[in-house]
């Protein structure tokens, strides 16, 4: 198999610290490198629409809910992994563009619901097509079965990442 840039990094560490098992780092740095690549792909895919990735994330969270494409501002912040303050700022900006509207939550006087407008639905429906095309193009190096296996393995990592990180060990390798 052809070597990638990450193999060079691992080879350098192995030469400098041959007692270390760098295999886990090989997975982590490749995932981190792919994150940067996928982020660039997503940003580039949305450029023709004059849509930022954060805008896509918010509109997408609303669109996935189905009609009436509405979430409370708090649930929307949770789904996009943002603070409520950051979400307020994003809702303001999307409201200015005509993609969302706010309404008072009928069951909670303090609550605010956020809904997609017709323009917002149209925009996210165009955007998802662009995102899917970019993802398909990037993953074309893998067959369908390979993509399925990779998705399963990544799901396993994601689920494992929800448990607390192991505490760093001060014990030196080979100090048994």
Q: What is the CATH number of the domain that holds 151?
A: 1.10.10.10
Whether 31 maps to a domain, the answer reads: no
> What is the number of domains present in the chain?
1
Predicted pLDDT at 45 = 96
Predicted pLDDT at 165 = 66
Predicted pLDDT at 176 = 40
Query: How many Å apart are CA 75 and CA 35, to the nearest integer?
Result: 25
Predicted pLDDT at 162 = 80
Contact 125, 85 (CB under 8 A): no
Mean pLDDT in the chain?
90
Domain span at 123? 51-160
Whether 4 maps to a domain, the answer reads: no
Binned at pLDDT 50, 70 and 90, residue 156 comes out as very high
Does 167 score more than 60 pLDDT? yes
Whether 57 maps to a domain, the answer reads: yes
- Return the ∠ at Cα 156 (arms to 150 and 159), rounded to 5°: 140
């Amino acid at each position: 198999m052809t070597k990638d840039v990450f193999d060079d990094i691992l080879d350098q560490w192995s030469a400098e610290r041959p007692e270390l098992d760098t295999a886990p780092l090989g997975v982590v740095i490749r995932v981190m490198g792919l994150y940067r690549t996928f982020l660039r792909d997503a940003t580039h895919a949305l450029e023709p629409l004059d849509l930022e990735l954060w805008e896509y994330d918010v509109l997408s969270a609303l669109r996935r809910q189905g009609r009436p494409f509405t979430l409370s501002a708090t649930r929307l912040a949770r789904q996009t992994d943002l603070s409520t303050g950051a979400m307020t700022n994003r809702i303001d900006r999307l409201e200015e563009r005509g993609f969302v509207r706010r309404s008072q939550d009928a069951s909670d006087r303090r609550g605010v619901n956020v809904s997609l407008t017709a323009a917002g639905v149209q925009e996210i429906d165009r955007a998802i097509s662009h995102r899917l095309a970019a993802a398909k193009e990037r993953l074309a190096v893998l067959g369908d079965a390979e993509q399925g296996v990779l998705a399963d393995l990544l799901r396993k990592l994601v689920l494992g990442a929800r448990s607390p990180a192991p505490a760093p060990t001060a014990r030196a390798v080979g100090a048994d």
